């Protein structure tokens, strides 16, 4: 089952199209990273999911319910923390928690206490006097203490120092439940979510470039290095899956975006008969950079 | 803190890297039989990895007999069977292959590689 399903969502702000025909599924139990540059449409997509924005077209379903009909009982199962969240700044941390607690039947006081200590939050200080990192941790705490089934984090790490970021990730993992616990996290920085995410989707200019499991993405990308051992130019056309082509004297380097050991070796042998070929695994970050550089359409439907 | 050393390299499957690091720690005596092994949650928090991945790691280590799960205590490091030297040598297979490939690329001889190995071996001592 999918925790979130977007079907053909388009959204326009006046004349600007923020999302174009976006179809996306976040499987239940996944930690799903929604990546893209600033302005790619991540926040708009999340606002549609959270019923904060009615899309110009399309349907969003969250935990099985049409997002435009999400009600109190649904939001009691959803945690939402956003970079630009409005919080009652006149309240102290303690007052914020006292205020939130009654709304959630599943509020876990033990987890609340544990996170409060772990986050090192001053419970008597007013929110308006907290640093950005502290404020984000307070917002996270008020969204984690009821162990939500679905946690939605919109750019949670932006502007956080490394220590606050570390606290934040630990907090999220403290509340994790194996199996049905789903996390959607948006970020413009792939490195922040590289280890956590088991699914990755990339938005560019309001359009989905791809959505697939981290495993399949890491599996199909390799940085290839070829020592030609001869001066002959490569024979034949280059496969479309070869990106970021670079050649210098006696050496060729490129990124294979559809790597399969035998098929890639075969394709290399055909084009560089006596060359030494090496394939290096790539990090998500390297993959994203090479995709951006190649600037080509590598659309692949969800590998779910 | 985790009771074994690991430095995750980006790009390689995380589960494989951690499983390998744990097995290495057991062979090296850093993890001793009977020693408690951290829970899935702790593994995931310490390494900042997906809890599903941490779960997969612990399950694989149990399945491979490296850890034993006891209901009340959690996981502990298993007594290593005496006859599994071959299995332990196999652990190094992939690393050895990588070493040989790198050495050949650099044009080193087997003697030079052996000498380098011996030097490192001595440096670490034998515990």
Q: What is the pLDDT of residues A115-164, one digit of tens each?
A: 999 999 999 999 999 999 999 999 999 999 999 999 999 999 888 888 99
**Which of B41, B48, B56 to mutate to probe the A interface, most A CBs <10 Å?**
B48
Average per-residue pLDDT in chain A? Answer: 89
Mean pLDDT of B7-17: 85
Q: Which residues of A touch B45 (CB under 8 A)?
A: 169-170, 173-174
Q: What does pTM read for this prediction?
A: 0.83
Q: Any idea what DSSP says for residue B6?
A: -
CA–CA min distance B126, chain A (Å) = 33
The whole-number pLDDT of residue A255 equals 93
The whole-number pLDDT of residue A231 equals 64
Mean pLDDT of A21-27: 96
Name, of A29-33, A226-230, B93-97, the range with top average pLDDT: A29-33
The whole-number pLDDT of residue B125 equals 64
- Percentage of chain A modeled with pLDDT above 70: 94
Question: Residue A37: pLDDT band by 50, 70, 90 thresholds?
Answer: confident
The whole-number pLDDT of residue A92 equals 96
Q: Which residues of B touch A176 (CB under 8 A)?
A: 41, 44, 51
Are A185 and A193 within 8 A, CB to CB?
yes
Are A148 and A114 within 8 A, CB to CB?
no
Question: Residue A299: pLDDT band by 50, 70, 90 thresholds?
Answer: very low
Mean pLDDT of A277-302: 73
CB under 8 Å to A267, separation ≥6 — which residues?
Answer: A239
Question: Residue A297: pLDDT band by 50, 70, 90 thresholds?
Answer: very low
- Percentage of chain B modeled with pLDDT above 70: 90
Question: Residue A103: pLDDT band by 50, 70, 90 thresholds?
Answer: very high
Q: Which residues of B touch A218 (CB under 8 A)?
A: 11, 13
CB under 8 Å to A122, separation ≥6 — which residues?
Answer: A93, A130, A134
Beta-carbon separation of B41 and A215 below 8 A = no
The whole-number pLDDT of residue B81 equals 57
| Chain A nearest-CA residue for B13 | A215
The whole-number pLDDT of residue A265 equals 87
| Chain B nearest-CA residue for A199 | B50
CA–CA min distance B13, chain A (Å) = 8
Residue A102, number of CB atoms within 10 A of its CB: 8
Beta-carbon separation of A178 and B55 below 8 A = yes
**Which of B42, B51, B52 to mutate to probe the A interface, most A CBs <10 Å?**
B51
> Does residue A107 register a pLDDT over 80?
yes
Beta-carbon separation of B10 and A285 below 8 A = yes
- ipTM, 2 dp: 0.76
Mean pLDDT of A16-45: 94
> Does residue B48 register a pLDDT over 80?
yes
């Amino acid at each position: 089952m999918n925790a979130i399903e977007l079907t053909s969502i388009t959204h326009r702000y006046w004349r600007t199209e923020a999302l174009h025909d976006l179809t996306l599924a976040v499987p239940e139990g996944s930690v799903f990273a929604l990546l893209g540059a600033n302005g790619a449409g991540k926040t708009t997509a999340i606002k549609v999911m959270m019923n904060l924005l009615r899309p110009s077209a399309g349907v969003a379903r969250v935990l099985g319910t049409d997002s435009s009909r999400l009600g109190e009982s649904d939001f009691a199962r959803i945690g939402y923390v956003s970079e630009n969240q409005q919080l009652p700044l006149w309240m102290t941390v303690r007052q914020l928690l006292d205020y939130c607690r009654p709304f959630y039947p599943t509020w876990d006081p033990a987890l609340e206490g544990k996170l409060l200590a772990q986050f090192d939050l001053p419970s008597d200080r007013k929110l308006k006097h907290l640093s950005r990192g502290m404020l984000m941790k307070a917002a996270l705490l008020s969204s984690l203490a009821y162990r939500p089934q679905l946690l939605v984090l919109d750019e949670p790490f932006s502007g956080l120092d490394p220590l606050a970021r570390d606290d934040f990730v630990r907090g999220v993992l403290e509340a994790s439940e194996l199996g049905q616990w789903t996390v959607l996290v948006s970020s413009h920085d792939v490195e922040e979510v590289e280890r956590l995410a088991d699914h990755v989707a990339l938005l560019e200019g309001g359009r989905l470039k791809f959505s697939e499991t981290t495993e399949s993405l890491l599996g199909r990308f390799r940085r290839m290095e070829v020592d030609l051992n001869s001066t002959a130019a490569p024979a034949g056309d280059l496969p479309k899956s070869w990106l970021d082509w670079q050649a210098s004297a006696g050496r060729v380097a490129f990124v294979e975006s559809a790597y399969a050991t035998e098929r890639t070796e075969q394709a290399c042998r055909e084009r560089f008969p006596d060359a030494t070929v090496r394939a290096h695994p790539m990090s998500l970050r390297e993959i994203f950079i090479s995709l951006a550089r190649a600037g080509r359409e590598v659309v692949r439907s969800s590998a779910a | 803190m985790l009771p074994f050393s690991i430095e995750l390299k980006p790009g390689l499957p995380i589960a494989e890297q951690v499983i390998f690091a744990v097995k290495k720690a057991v062979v090296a005596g850093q993890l001793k039989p009977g020693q408690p092994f951290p829970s899935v949650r702790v593994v995931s928090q310490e390494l900042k990895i997906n809890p599903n991945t941490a779960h997969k790691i612990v399950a694989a280590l149990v399945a491979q007999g490296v850890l034993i799960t006891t209901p009340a205590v959690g996981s502990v490091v298993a007594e290593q069977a005496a006859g599994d030297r071959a299995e332990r040598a196999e652990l190094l297979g992939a690393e050895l292959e990588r070493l040989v490939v790198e050495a050949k690329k650099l044009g080193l001889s087997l003697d030079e590689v052996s000498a380098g190995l011996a030097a490192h071996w001595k440096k670490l001592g034998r515990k």
